[in-house]
Amino acid sequence: MKQKKIFGLSRRTAIQILVYGGACAALFALPLFVGNDFLLNRYSRYLVLGMVAMALSLSWGHAGILNLGQGLSFGLGSYCMAMALKLRTVPVHTGSDGLPDFMVWNNVEHLPWFWQPFHSMTFTLLAGIFIPVLLAAFIGWFMFKGRVTGVFVAIITLATLVVANLLIIDQQPFTGGFNGITDLAQFKMFGIEFDAYSKSTYYLVAACLTICLFSCLALTKSKAGLILQAIRDEEDRVRFFGYDVAAYKSLAFCVSAAVAGIAGMLYTIVMEFASPTFLGVPLSLSIVIWCAVGGRKSLLGATIGAIVVVGMQGALSESALFLNTWTLIMGAVFVLVVLFLPNGLAGLVEIFQRRIAKKDG
């Protein structure tokens, strides 16, 4: 049987691109129907979290690396942006040359050296991506060269996350400790000021999400993407074919970290603060849950999973009826999804497709 090709793409890929494009177009159209800036801010937040879940889908669903420390890249990106925006504020209590207020409270006299470069926005944007990537490259090389797999990957990533979280809380004079970095300036780029409660920030987030989504889709469709899938399903066989499994896994791990780093930076812009809870264990576990609910093997599925779950949390926790029971409901939903929909909501789509195909054939 010969497959029909559309612009040199297989039918499946073409449909996927159409669906992804449609979803992104819907994101861009949303502000036309939502005039409320408060709601827009909340939707931007959902989209950012969708982006992190998508990043996890890339490493977990497509390469079999269960990263329980996705919050590490996310939090580092977030802190990079927060540091830069903090330096741009006009603090009420200022030390010499605009020292951030929490440093003044902690008797720090000079801006520490690792804060200095964040005066430059170009550096910040690069740092927000490449600090998580370099760290991921190191951790990835460390784990995958030693052929660490499965649960042990989960443990190592989780432990790294906890270490980072402890250090950030401990180094209060330089990181703001428990309180994180608050009272930030607004992000400015190309002469546009991105107010967190405005359409501009929403579009910024939607644009970043679209770009990342399509870049990751391209990666999964490339040869490297195929090899990653093969590694996920049968690692040893791929190794016997002579591929450098560790290098490919590190690649997926790094790209995932880059996307999470970008999402982290956006999160600071949307939330207007950075907090050690971004590197907390509960958030990272939640990311895994979103990814599982949406469908770990589908980038768009994971994104939508995060948006749906977080959106549901937001909606349920607000209504008086579910104020106290929404966590209970969410817990039950997770358990049911894991039991009956191992591939999440995206798996549901596939089940329907198969049904239709059966009827046709």
Summarize as ranges the residues that interact with another protein (CB under 8 A).
Answer: 66, 68, 142-143, 146, 148, 150-152, 154-156, 158-160, 162-163, 166-167, 169-170, 281-282, 285, 288-289, 292, 324-325, 327-328, 330-335, 338-339, 342
Residue 71: name the closest of 323, 276, 335 by CA: 276
Rounded to a whole number of angstroms, the CA Rg of the chain reads: 21
What is the C-alpha to C-alpha distance for residues 306 and 278, in angstroms, rounded to an integer? Answer: 15
C-beta of 154 vs 230, nearer to another protein: 154
By the 8 A CB rule, do 187 and 85 touch? yes
C-beta of 196 vs 302, nearer to another protein: 302
Minimum distance from CB of 163 to another protein (Å)?
5
C-beta of 120 vs 327, nearer to another protein: 327
C-beta of 40 vs 52, nearer to another protein: 52
By the 8 A CB rule, do 306 and 46 touch? yes
Tokens, residue 259: 């996307």
What is the C-alpha to C-alpha distance for residues 24 and 32, in angstroms, rounded to an integer? Answer: 14
Minimum distance from CB of 79 to another protein (Å)?
17
Minimum distance from CB of 244 to another protein (Å)?
18
Helices 281-294, 70-87: axis angle to 10 degrees equals 120
Tokens, residue 86: 């903090």
Minimum distance from CB of 155 to another protein (Å)?
5
**DSSP state letter for 60:** I
C-beta of 192 vs 338, nearer to another protein: 338
C-beta of 107 vs 324, nearer to another protein: 324
C-beta of 91 vs 280, nearer to another protein: 280
Minimum distance from CB of 151 to another protein (Å)?
7
Cα-based distances in Å from 32 to 28, 133, 314? 8, 36, 22
What is the C-alpha to C-alpha distance for residues 266 and 201, in angstroms, rounded to an integer? Answer: 9
Bridge-based pairing of strands 5-6 and 9-10 is antiparallel
The full DSSP string for 132-159 is HHHHHHHHHHHHHHTT--THHHHHHHHH
Tokens, residue 91: 């603090």
Bridge partner list, 192? 189
Residue 176: name the closest of 93, 83, 247 by CA: 83
Minimum distance from CB of 23 to another protein (Å)?
25
Q: Give Cβ neighbours of residue 14 (< 8 Å, ≥ 6 apart).
A: 6, 7
C-beta of 123 vs 334, nearer to another protein: 334
Minimum distance from CB of 68 to another protein (Å)?
8
Minimum distance from CB of 172 to another protein (Å)?
10
